[in-house]
Amino acid sequence: MRILKTDFPDPYRIVSKCSLSFVVGRQTRSEEYMDKLRVLLVGVGGFGHNWWTLLPPRPHIHVTGLVDPSVEALEAGGEALGVPPRLRFTDLRTALETVEADLAIQNTPPHLRLEHARLLLPRGMHLLTAKPLTETLAEAAEIIGLARTHGRMVVVNQQLRYGPIPRLLRRVLAEGAVGTIDHIDFTFHQRRSWTDRLKDVPSPLFVESSVHHFDFLRSIAGCEPDRVFADAWASAWTGARGETTGTAILKMSRGFRINYRASRSARADLDPSVKTGWYGKWLIEGDAGIIQGDEREGLTLNGKPLISGEDASRDAGVYPLIGVLFDDLCRTLAQGGVPQTSGEDNLWTMATCQAAFEAYQRESWIDVPALVRGG
Ligand SMILES: NC(=O)c1ccc[n+]([C@@H]2O[C@H](COP(=O)([O-])OP(=O)(O)OC[C@H]3O[C@@H](n4cnc5c(N)ncnc54)[C@H](O)[C@@H]3O)[C@@H](O)[C@H]2O)c1
């Protein structure tokens, strides 16, 4: 199977200003910024620092304001983004008295998303939120409902599905590369510090890591999980309160299974080779083919190269992929359509995480569509 160049978007190719027109302004704006997408950055520090370098080279973007209670983050982010001190705010409500925008990028702790969405959506802003969209499915559903009411878009920054391996697998499986899929085995092994903010999170594996994996597994599978069974535990050497290692079986609506095994506490200190990249290790078996491999070595289809390790890991990091997702969102805002990682789509990713968590807590299979419907 040949890999088309189009499987690999150039993350540094910046959507050119003239190709996009953001006719969104019900507010007045100066001539200079007439054809720009106005962005309010809510949560400037932490993961938000990615935007300090991603936004300035994009000529169609105008950052109209910054919000963060951290004065240091405001100052550093403001300098990097060229936002003057009078447009830097420590509180969202105050910012909204002055600042207008077409899109709010929310890089805040998840418990703030709903509260902020209730302020941002009625003011006509689309939302690009960090993952997870919210802490609960009910909150996520409320945000999506609000967005519908106000005719705005909610998009979740699940950038990993734009990586080379997920994009390639999505396409070749849809083209029937392995025939009818029987199962997909996916393994992930990494080592994280347990002194970070996740140390006391009840479900660091399923909430923080699996949210990425379940998102790209859904995208690759081309169908949704019907039922999930899972087990998870805190590996003894971590000192973490919540689970760090786990396993899940996803029964997909098209009948095949995904066997998922993941660890955030792999003993890479003893043997670094145990570590996988974020795209893990793969074995996909169908009645007409088998795909296997990983990001380092590349993937094979029936023993023949499908993608090299070099191509599989090119521009596969967090930073370039956020740029790809952002450009996709800008294109959608300008030209119409629904972005791949819309809030509606993300409900299924959140529900899969929730199902895995509930399955190991209750030691039973969990119905995913029922969670999505709010059941
Ligand atoms: N997509 C990814 O790969 C990825 C990677 C890391 C983190 N994240 C997600 O990004 C989100 C933020 O994580 P983080 O590590 O940056 O967290 P963080 O705790 O560093 O918070 C980010 C910023 O939000 C600010 N903030 C706090 N309260 C605020 C408020 N009321 N108004 C405005 N700003 C406020 C903080 O001061 C900080 O600068 C999380 O949901 C996390 O899961 C995503």
The C-alpha torsion from 280 through 136 and 322 to 230, rounded to 10°, is 10
pLDDT of residue 237: 86
Ligand 1 centroid vs 45 CA: distance in angstroms?
Answer: 7
pTM: 0.91
Atom of ligand 1 nearest to the CA of 208: 43
DSSP 8-class letter at 100: -
32 near 62, Cβ under 8 Å? Answer: no
pLDDT along the chain (375 residues), means of 10: 35 41 49 79 97 96 98 98 98 97 96 97 98 94 97 97 96 98 97 68 82 97 98 88 92 98 92 93 98 96 97 89 96 92 97 95 97 87
Pocket test for ligand 1, best of 68, 324, 326 (most atoms within 8 A of CB): 68
Atom of ligand 1 nearest to the CA of 158: 1
Residues with CB under 6 A from ligand 1: 42-48, 67-70, 73, 92, 107-110, 112, 130-131, 157, 159, 318
- For residue 233, list its beta bridge partners: 245
Residue with tokens 């953001």: 22
How far CA 245 is from CA of 117, 186, 341, in Å, comes to 33, 14, 26
Domains of the chain: residue spans and CATH: 8-157 (3.40.50.720), 160-316+341-372 (3.30.360.10)
Q: Which residues contact 270 (CB under 8 A, 6 or more apart)?
A: none
Atom of ligand 1 nearest to the CA of 44: 39
> Rounded CA gap, 285 and 256, in Å?
10
Ligand 1 centroid vs 108 CA: distance in angstroms?
Answer: 4
Ligand 1 centroid vs 66 CA: distance in angstroms?
Answer: 14
